[in-house]
Amino acid sequence: MENKTKFNIWYILMAVWGILLLQNLIFSQFRPKVIPYSEFMQAVMEDKVIEIAIAKDRIHGKMKDEEGGEILFTTVRVDTDLSDALTEHNVKFSGEVENTLFKTILSWVLPVLLFFGVWYFLMQRMQAGQVGMMQFGKNKAKIIGEKDIETRFDDVAGADEAKEELQEIVSFLKQPQDYVAIGGQMPRGVLLVGPPGTGKTLIARAVAGEAGVPFFSISGSEFVEMFVGMGAARVRDLFVQAREKAPCIIFIDELDALGKARGAGMMGGHDEREQTLNQLLVEMDGFDPSNGIIIMSATNRPEVLDPALLRSGRFDRQVLIDRPDINGRLAILKIHAKRIKLAEDVDLSVIAQKTPGFSGADLANALNEAALLAVRKKKQTVGIEELDEAVDRIIGGLEKKNRVINPKEKKIVAYHEVGHALTAVLTPGTDPVHKISIIPRGLAALGYTQQRPTEDRYLMSYEELLSKIDVLLGGRVAEKIMFNSATTGAGNDLMRATDIARAMVAEYGMGETLGLSTYPRQRTPVFLQTDQPFGGAREYSEATAARLDEEIKALLDQREQHVRDMLTDHKEALIRIAERLLEKEVIYEDEFKSLI
């Protein structure tokens, strides 16, 4: 469309130029003869001039030629006195005729060019609008050629089990005939589930890179538009393009934006999202997996997906991409550390121990923050101090050294944090204390105590849960011992301790009221953190709820008394460490142990 439009415009411009040249040739014979002014004066003397018209700069008229005929002439006017003087001295003179051909052509061409320029601009805008309307039904997938994908399995760390599961997909895309010969079929869809930032999109690109096939990448939200039917059209167009480039991988990120359970919306089964989902289900049933088309999707909310998506024959293989363990975190740190200049004494295994629960994205962010801090301090390499500070910044927020806190509140915060730390070190089975700080961080944290796990834990015993409650209550108990009063600073600690106690009684079967009966909390996202409190539809009587509340309160009171007795026995150490913390504001593990 666009090339054709340009072709017509050039032909029109050529026609305009042709008309102007033809006009110049045809009418040239009817143009008046330009003569010098002296020749005009001579003709006047000889009575050859028949009539004239005098203008400001020119004289036009009719005169007799040598053969007795009449011709039109024009001459440039010359000053009369000057012409008389020149005539007396026999000087031949004439007026200079200005060449106006270029001006004449320009006066024609410029308006024509301006007109066609405006017309061409409007046509382009109209065509762009028409193309935009036509593109509504086109998919918005980013198509990455097999030669442009540089990601490999070696670039993905901390997900060894997932890579082993997906190795079959790579093998099938490379040599599908081996599976066809034995009668086997690869899964039509692979669903990658896991918390945010764990590398689901990265591992999908790695599969395409290892297999050497094109990679169609699109987000689930890009299918749905305000116009009815556009999402379904995009799904159809996506699969048409995929069939043309097979073998290939179709990757749909954030599948929950498209694949939520039908009927859950306010508009029932007639809204655009559900029509798009229906079309996706139909397309997944309609293509032959032996063609080499693999559909991969990623989500961190598998609990909201439509059951029809997860049945056999569609997304029949689910691969968990979980937060890495300590070995995985160390491998991820090594990969991202390749682009950062680390000091020789940096031990990444220490950082891996300090970052339980960190995803791959969090670890990459920690290394990047450490590099920025090193540049800010005018250092040439990133040291362990910058890495520690970067981890603390991600966990607790930005350090606010300039926040002014009155001495009384600062003293309360110091005893509160030392109460946490001292309880942790005196309680068996808790993680060792790595750092105590009374420098404010983030929005509300006036201080914090950091513990460093020595290993990843997946199960917790009854005693270990009690130890967690003890450490959480240590700050408030220290305030009560030293100041005989309590502050609002322990609000979050009390909420977390209450949640653990309630979970022990109502979920884990560790209480006396319910025994082995459990009433878990309302259904919450599997991989997304939420601050939703314990609650939901209660499935027990008011009498049972009252007994639960009594048992939870009794458990918390018991642990508070236990922590009070423990800190009272070590009151001297509590005071000594708190006074040292008020002086230095930050105490690390070695100094803390020496003060105990």
Q: What is the pLDDT of residues 36-56, one digit of tens each?
A: 877 777 777 777 777 777 676
Round to whole Å and give the CA distance between 593 and 595. Answer: 5
Looking only at the bridges linking them, the beta strands covering 49-54 and 33-34 are unpaired
Contacts for 329 with CB less than 8 Å, ≥ 6 apart: 158, 351, 352, 355, 358, 363
pLDDT value of residue 131: 42
pLDDT value of residue 142: 67
534 pLDDT band (50/70/90 cuts)? very low
Q: How far is CA 435 from the centre of its chain?
A: 34
pLDDT value of residue 523: 57
- Tokens representing 325 are 């363990």
pLDDT value of residue 227: 52
Of 231 and 531, which is predicted with more confidence? 231
Question: Is 142-320's fold the same as 326-396's?
Answer: no
Of 269 and 140, which is predicted with more confidence? 140
137 pLDDT band (50/70/90 cuts)? very low
State the amino acid at position 464 in one-letter form: E
Check if CATH label 1.20.58.760 holds for domain 407-595: yes
pLDDT value of residue 525: 64
pLDDT value of residue 497: 93
Q: What is the pLDDT of residues 303-343, one digit of tens each?
A: 888 888 888 878 888 888 888 888 888 999 998 888 888 98
Domain at 326-396: CATH code: 1.10.8.60
Q: What phi-psi label fits residue 68: left (phi over 0), alpha (psi between -120 and 50 degrees) or beta?
A: left
Of 579 and 136, which is predicted with more confidence? 579
Round to whole Å and give the CA distance between 159 and 579. Answer: 46
Helix (H) or strand (E) holding 273: helix 272-286
Choose, from 210, 254, 274, 417, the residue flagged as catalytic: 417
6 pLDDT band (50/70/90 cuts)? very low
State the amino acid at position 128 in one-letter form: A
pLDDT value of residue 81: 60
- Tokens representing 587 are 């105490």
Query: Residue 96 to residues 29, 43, 57, 93: CA-CA distances in angstroms?
Result: 21, 19, 11, 10
Mean pLDDT along residues 349-363: 86
Contacts for 220 with CB less than 8 Å, ≥ 6 apart: 252, 253, 254, 255, 256, 257, 258, 259, 297
pLDDT value of residue 132: 46
Helix (H) or strand (E) holding 87: helix 80-88
pLDDT at residue 431 greater than cutoff 90: no
Round to whole Å and give the CA distance between 467 and 426. Answer: 10
User: Which homologous superfamily does the CATH classification assign to the domain defined by 142-320?
Assistant: P-loop containing nucleotide triphosphate hydrolases (3.40.50.300)
423 pLDDT band (50/70/90 cuts)? very high
Q: Considering only CA atoms, which of 358, 366, 377 is closest in space to residue 336?
A: 366
Query: Given 3-state DSSP classes, what are the helix, strand and coil percentages for the chain, each rounded to the nearest 5?
Result: 55, 10, 35
Q: What is the pLDDT of residues 171-217, one digit of tens each?
A: 888 877 777 777 777 777 889 998 888 888 888 888 888 888 888 88
Of 79 and 302, which is predicted with more confidence? 302
pLDDT at residue 59 greater than cutoff 50: yes
pLDDT value of residue 118: 76
Q: What is the mean pLDDT of the chain?
A: 78
Mean pLDDT along residues 381-399: 83
pLDDT at residue 150 greater than cutoff 60: yes
Work out the angle at residue 361's Cα, subtended by the Cα atoms of residues 310 and 456, and round it to the nearest 5 degrees. Answer: 80
pLDDT value of residue 522: 57
pLDDT value of residue 591: 84
10 pLDDT band (50/70/90 cuts)? low
Is 437:447 a contact under the CB 8 Å cutoff?
Answer: yes
pLDDT at residue 465 greater than cutoff 80: yes
Strands (E) in 220-327, as ranges, are 248-253, 293-299, 317-320
Please report the DSSP string for 186-203 in residue order: --SEEEEE-STTSSHHHH
Of 374 and 455, which is predicted with more confidence? 374
pLDDT value of residue 474: 93
pLDDT value of residue 103: 57
- How many helices (H) and strands (E) would you count in the chain? 20, 13
Q: Is 314 helix (H, G, I), strand (E, B) or coil?
A: coil
pLDDT value of residue 7: 46
Half-sphere exposure of 349 (CA within 13 A, CB side): 4
Q: Looking at mean pLDDT, say which of 147-161, 317-331, 534-548, 552-566 comes out highest.
A: 552-566
Strand partners, 299: 193
Of 226 and 409, which is predicted with more confidence? 409
Round to whole Å and give the CA distance between 188 and 122. Answer: 47
Mean pLDDT along residues 523-537: 55
422 pLDDT band (50/70/90 cuts)? very high
Query: What is the 8-class DSSP label of residue 29?
Result: G
pLDDT value of residue 27: 57
Round to whole Å and give the CA distance between 152 and 163. Answer: 10
pLDDT value of residue 471: 93
537 pLDDT band (50/70/90 cuts)? low
The proportion of the chain whose per-residue pLDDT surpasses 70, expressed as a percent, equals 77
Active site residue 98: no
Of 590 and 531, which is predicted with more confidence? 590
Torsion angle (degrees, nearest 10) of CA 118, 120, 126, 131: -150
pLDDT value of residue 564: 94
pLDDT at residue 231 greater than cutoff 60: yes
Q: Considering only CA atoms, which of 180, 168, 582, 243 is closest in space to residue 409?
A: 582
Domain extents in the chain? 2-101, 142-320, 326-396, 407-595
Of 49-53, 198-202, 544-548, 590-594, least confident by mean pLDDT is: 49-53
The proportion of the chain whose per-residue pLDDT surpasses 90, expressed as a percent, equals 14
